[in-house]
Amino acid sequence: MDGSAPAVSAVAPGESSPPVVDEVDVIVVGAGPAGSTTAFHLAQAGLDVLLLEKTAFPREKVCGDGLTPRAVRQLVAMGIDVSESAGWLPNRGVRIMGGGHALELDWPRLASFPDFGLVRRRAEFDEIVARRAESAGARLVQRCNVTGPIIDDRTKHIVGVTARSVDEKGRPNGDSVSYRSRLVVAADGNSSRLSVAMGLERRRDRPMAVAVRTYIRTPNDRDDRLETWVEICAGGRILPGYGWIFPMGDGTVNVGIGMLNTDKIDSKIDYRDLMARWLREIHPQRGLSLDDATEPIRGAALPMAFNRQPHYTRGLLLVGDAGGMVNPFNGEGIAYAMESGALAARVMTQALARQTPAQVEQALSGYPRLLREYYGGYYTMGRWFLRALGDPRFMRWAVHRGLGRRRLMELSLKMMGNLSDKPGADAGDRLVNALQRLAPKS
């Protein structure tokens, strides 16, 4: 296979699904961080994997481009060179701005995580991870738009997908084809059409945020910290969200704003206007203006705290944004996309070595349980945190009082970044771990 979707002449009359062009162990739909990590680990375990991606690399993805130590750990686990000489921009922590404070915090020193984060444009980042999956043996098919599941009439399980090759504008330029497999992974991002086609709608009772970003030209394009601004105001109140300025090291910074969108006023927010006003307010400190933007402001949704479930049903596993796994505390999604991909691959590898369909199912049913065990308590706390954030009194207290308390903020960074040793090495870790254990895992 040459890496582009195969051209197949015609669908035979009377066939329920188009001609089968390949049959593999696992099909992974979507080559973002979730899909490529899943494909990498499956291929490493010796399984035959197809990674189907509707765009072609390098391609843009709307993102802040910031990676915490949690994401770095996943890159390292895949054997990816994360050195500066390989094009990564390291950072040693965060700078939190607001309420007259400028608080600099280092990433915690832990046994389980590196003590640095990274920045890299998604156009490059996603391709690096996808190529790593390819080099491990996964077969990447680009410009291949998956159009739906193929369902076995008898078992009602997904046994493959239909797809069409598309051009650079996403327009179909070939006939429909089928790919068959024993298992399918939905790694197709927030809207996850594949999950929806399998009856898995988004949970409306789970949080969702909206974020927008652009790149702005500046001579200050390097910083050893990820900078966040927590005092974004509109209508006389502090909004539940934050602004960020992440250094790109290429003559620009990535500038964005993320907001919780369960709040009543948010549907009326004009994000371009909000960003322009915020940049004007911080102009004396940062000197950034939308007049120097190198591209339009673009935005997308961040699905949080398991906002699509179940994560396994009838031969389909959900990873990353498809499974709504963005961290509700800080809007970080890449680490969770990669971690859930690694977990799903581990479960699938074990499942596919089982002897009977019942045993395979039993093994696969462990995936949602494993996810709940890993993130359930943490995401529940995140939902409580977001509820508090929706209360202007809490926001005011956090910005004006909380930021002035270094020890509290160090602990908050551990909590919000989900960065602690287990078992805990110090009192902070033990507190964070205990809270996660006590919160309901759902």
Nearest approach in angstroms of CB 322 to ligand FAD is 6
Distance CA 380, CA 378 (A): 5
Q: Among 86, 81, 92, which Cα is nearest to 115's?
A: 92
Q: Which residues bind ligand FAD (CB under 6 A)?
A: 29-35, 52-55, 61-66, 71, 145-146, 187-189, 193, 211-213, 256, 299-300, 302, 320-322, 326, 332-335, 337
Measured from the CB atom, is 99 or 225 closer to ligand FAD?
A: 225
Distance CA 90, CA 120 (A): 9
Q: Among 153, 174, 127, 120, which Cα is nearest to 6's?
A: 174
Measured from the CB atom, is 66 or 93 closer to ligand FAD?
A: 66
Residue positions counted in the chain? 442
Measured from the CB atom, is 74 or 360 closer to ligand FAD?
A: 74
Measured from the CB atom, is 29 or 97 closer to ligand FAD?
A: 29
What is the residue-wise DSSP string for 223-259?
-SEEEEE---EETTEE-SEEEEEEE-SSSEEEEEEEE
Nearest approach in angstroms of CB 68 to ligand FAD is 7
Name the residue type at position 187: A
Distance CA 148, CA 160 (A): 9
Distance CA 208, CA 260 (A): 6
Query: Helix and strand tally (H, E) in the chain?
Result: 13, 20
Name the residue type at position 126: D
Nearest approach in angstroms of CB 67 to ligand FAD is 6
User: Cis (ω within 30 of 0) for the bond into 108?
Assistant: no
Measured from the CB atom, is 71 or 371 closer to ligand FAD?
A: 71
**Do strands 20-29 and 101-106 pair parallel, antiparallel, or not at all (unpaired)?**
unpaired
Nearest approach in angstroms of CB 359 to ligand FAD is 29
Write the burial class of residue 169 (CB in 10 Å: 0-12 exposed, 13-18 middle, 19+ buried): exposed
Nearest approach in angstroms of CB 36 to ligand FAD is 8
10 Å Cβ neighbour count for 412?
Answer: 19
Alpha-carbon torsion 121, 260, 245, 419, what sign?
A: negative
Residue reference for tokens 């939308």:
290
Rounded to a whole number of angstroms, the distance between the first and last alpha carbons of the chain is 42
Q: Which residues pair with 195 in a beta bridge?
A: none
Measured from the CB atom, is 35 or 243 closer to ligand FAD?
A: 35
Helical spans, DSSP H, in 148-294 = 193-197, 271-281, 283-286
Measured from the CB atom, is 300 or 431 closer to ligand FAD?
A: 300
Nearest approach in angstroms of CB 3 to ligand FAD is 14
Name the residue type at position 378: Y
| Local structure of residue 267 (DSSP, 8 states) | G
Alpha-carbon torsion 14, 18, 24, 25, what sign?
A: negative
Nearest approach in angstroms of CB 300 to ligand FAD is 3
Nearest approach in angstroms of CB 152 to ligand FAD is 21
Measured from the CB atom, is 189 or 402 closer to ligand FAD?
A: 189
Nearest approach in angstroms of CB 427 to ligand FAD is 28
Measured from the CB atom, is 34 or 238 closer to ligand FAD?
A: 34
Measured from the CB atom, is 360 or 419 closer to ligand FAD?
A: 419
* Main-chain dihedrals φ then ψ at residue 312, nearest 5 degrees: -140, 130
Nearest approach in angstroms of CB 187 to ligand FAD is 5
Query: Cβ-closest residue to ligand FAD?
Result: 333
Measured from the CB atom, is 63 or 419 closer to ligand FAD?
A: 63
Nearest approach in angstroms of CB 55 to ligand FAD is 5
